Amino acid sequence: MNCQECQQLLVAQIYGEVDENSAGIAEHCRQCASCAAWREDISAGRQLLNCLSQDDGETAGTSNADRPATAMVLPLLLQAEQQRKRRWRRAAVAVACLFGLAWVCQLVQLRVVFDNSSVQLHWGSASAQLVASSVTPPDKPATSPPEVTRADVSQLTAELQRLRSELLDMQVVQSDQTTAVASQSALLADYKTRLDVNEQLITLAGRQSLEVSQQLASLQGRTEAVMLRERTRWQHELGELRELGDARWRLLVHRLDYEFPERFSMVSAKPPTTP
Amino acid sequence: MNENDHQLMHRCRAGDLSAFDSLVNRWRAPLARILGRLLATGSFTAWATDVDDLSQEVFLRVFQSKQNYTEAATFSTWLYRIAVNVTRDAARRKRTRDKTVDQLQPPAAPAGPEEAVCRDELQQQVGQVLAGLPANLREPLVLRHFGGLTLAETADVLGLPVGTVRSRVGTALVQLRSELHQRGITEKDLPL
């Protein structure tokens, strides 16, 4: 055991976590003066600290001792929740402002042009561009700023009105185009629907035609079978009728021959048929 | 009603506020004692209101992170780890403030015999020396000595190896005794 290990074990030992005898600390301390001094120092330090252990609650806050714990913590929870909601609200307002600014820029067709020596802001249609600001002066020699007369103001005002009217016209045209595109889309959708219906009808008619043909063939076969069967039966009945007529005729001949043998001798002269 | 801390935390996680009340009532005093020692730095002594505020913040963090609590360690280890973090944050914020000794709350006046006055004087000196220790020495010493944690639990709270914690606690005790010797206070001055 070296001194470093011993000093670490001494700390554990004075707090009762390590047994002095089992860890061999006492033997090392008998041989090592520095470790013995270390043990004396930390033991004394611990004793000095123990006097602070008696003042439990003096430095500790006790103002909330009678309050329930939830009453102590829940207001902080509510406050944290409100702060989180406030942060979200601020973020939403900032995003809304950004969208509004972007919408205004798009509405006035704002463009930023970076030139070699200046930055220019343009708005309105491309045919009528107004230079709003210039960061650096042009390379021209410095001259006195042009005087703005009332006529210039009126001219600029008229130009501005004209630009506004053009903007309105463009918006109307854009709206018309949007409407036309929407109507064409609706028409195309209608055509597609009709085409689908027609395809379904054609498919259905083909299926029905096939079924009718099959039924017709079946009927034709059944008709021929019935005709054959009826013809056979008719021939059979005809033969029976013939035989019956023949039998009746013979009965009549026999009767006449019996009642009037002299008169119808010529009849009886015929050879008798077998019964 | 003798539920242990794990059972109370389990109920608290299920939304039972009475369990949280019980936990706070059980740990308020030990936590305040630890916070008072951790918060006192240099010539600054912890105010009772500061300790109250930090206690609220610690229990607030306990309540907010109750779903992260696991029973792998003891509740005191988890609680003291939060307390150390809260104290470090508070110390970071406190650097911007300027508080002098004159503004500090005076210690409670002893209404008693002369021994009580001497004892309070001794406690005040020891407290000041303890508060003057560097944070890396004071934190393990306070957690081990006043928090009742073992050295291994203290190492777990601080995220340090056990050997480092042992060395720091020993160094802190030696430095504490040395400072008190310079002020003329030895262990012989302790009341019997």
How large is the ipTM? Answer: 0.72
Any CB–CB contact under 8 A between A44 and chain B?
Answer: yes
Could A47 and B190 be called an inter-chain contact, meaning their C-beta atoms sit closer than 8 Å?
yes
Q: Bridge partners of A121?
A: A112
**CA–CA gap between residue B114 and residue B128 (Å, rounded):** 21
Q: Please check the confidence at residue A68 and state whether its pLDDT lies above 50.
A: yes
More confident site: A264 or A48: A48
> Which pLDDT belongs to residue B44?
53
DSSP code of residue A134: B
Nearest to A70 among B20, B50, B190 (CB): B20
B45 CB neighbour count, 10 Å cutoff:
21
pLDDT at A60: 40
Candidate ranges A25-39, A46-60, B109-123; pick with highest mean pLDDT: A25-39
- Our CA-based measurement puts residue B28 at a distance from the nearest CA of chain A, in whole angstroms, of 8
Q: Which residues, at least 6 apart from A143, have a Cβ–Cβ distance to it below 8 Å?
A: none
Residue A57 contacts B where some CB pair is shorter than 8 Å: yes
Q: Which residue of B has its CA nearest to A76?
A: B60
d(CA A2, CA A34): 12
Asked whether residue A205 carries a pLDDT value surpassing 90, the answer given is: yes
Average pLDDT on B129-154 reads 87
Residues B39, B24 contacting (CB under 8 angstroms): no
More confident of the two residues A217 and B66? A217
- Determine the pLDDT at residue B48: 61
**Residue of higher predicted confidence among A144 and A268:** A144
* Identity of the amino acid at B93: R
CB < 8 Å from A in window 76-95 of B: none
Structure confidence at residue A226 as a pLDDT band (50, 70, 90): very high
Rounded to two decimals, the pTM is 0.49
pLDDT-derived band of residue B69, with 50, 70 and 90 as boundaries?
Answer: confident
B144 contacts chain A (CB < 8 A): yes
Closest in A8, A62, A72 to B56, CB measured = A72
Q: Is a pLDDT exceeding 90 seen at residue B188?
A: no
CA of A76, closest CA in chain B: separation in Å?
7
Q: What is the pLDDT of residue A47?
A: 85
- pLDDT classification of A145: cutoffs 50, 70, 90: low
Q: Compute CA distances B161 → A8, B165, B167, B173, whole Å.
A: 12, 6, 10, 19
Q: What is the dihedral of CA A150, A154, A156, A161, to 10 degrees?
A: 160
Look at residue B100 and tell me whether its pLDDT is greater than 50: no
